[in-house]
């Protein structure tokens, strides 16, 4: 997966964001999103074309089981969480392709207030896929959801 941190995500980390304690969420975007190139947006509402998934029973998901691990042997910090499952429930003929996941920190309002929600990073799938009405599960491997290192 291609990883892209947003400037607002890096600022949140530098300003003391608590990965394990803050409300961090994920949303699915399609292949026409501009979320992969707009690294300087401040809030979710600022994306020109978010192209968020809309089929069936889809809803944004809160991340659970979040942990932060310092790995001195490999000179990195690993951010991790449990696998993420999105219900879709759409009819197979009407499903949108899923191209990537945008991870974001809930602002001072509710998770539906995109004018306050801070984009953290973007992870692209190697190829987009159409769920066909089935749930979309994002499998988080043992390397974690994101890694921060010197460089």
pLDDT digits (tens, 9 = 90+) for 20-77: 999 999 999 988 899 999 999 999 999 999 999 887 778 899 999 999 999 999 899 9
pLDDT at 70: 94
pLDDT at 88: 73
Q: What is the pLDDT of residues 72-125, one digit of tens each?
A: 998 999 999 999 998 876 554 455 778 899 999 998 766 568 999 999 999 987
pLDDT at 10 over 90: yes
pLDDT at 83: 92
pLDDT-derived band at 140 (thresholds 50, 70, 90) equals confident
List Cβ neighbours of 86 (8 Å cut-off, separation of 6 or more): 26, 28, 53, 58, 59, 61, 135, 136, 137, 138
CB of 20 within 8 A of CB of 28? Answer: no
pTM: 0.88
- Enter the tokens of residue 58: 């889809």
pLDDT at 145 over 90: no
pLDDT at 110: 64
CB of 41 within 8 A of CB of 49? Answer: no
pLDDT at 98: 82
* H-helix or E-strand spanning residue 127: strand 118-129
Tokens 């009819």 appear where? 91
pLDDT at 1: 45
CB of 68 within 8 A of CB of 79? Answer: yes
């Amino acid at each position: 997966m291609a990883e892209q941190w947003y400037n607002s995500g890096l600022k949140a980390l530098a300003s003391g964001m608590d990965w394990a304690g803050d409300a961090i969420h994920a949303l699915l975007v399609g292949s026409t999103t501009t979320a992969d190139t707009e690294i300087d947006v401040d809030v979710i509402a600022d994306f020109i074309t978010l192209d968020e998934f809309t089929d069936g029973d889809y809803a944004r998901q809160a991340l659970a089981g979040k942990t932060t691990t310092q790995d001195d042997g490999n000179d990195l910090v690993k951010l991790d969480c449990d696998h993420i499952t999105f219900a879709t429930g759409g009819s197979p003929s009407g499903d949108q392709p899923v191209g990537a996941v945008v991870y974001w920190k809930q602002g001072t309002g509710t998770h539906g207030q995109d004018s306050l929600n801070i984009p953290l990073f973007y992870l692209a799938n190697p190829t987009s896929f159409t769920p066909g009405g089935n749930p979309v599960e994002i499998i988080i491997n043992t390397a974690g959801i994101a890694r921060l290192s010197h460089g």
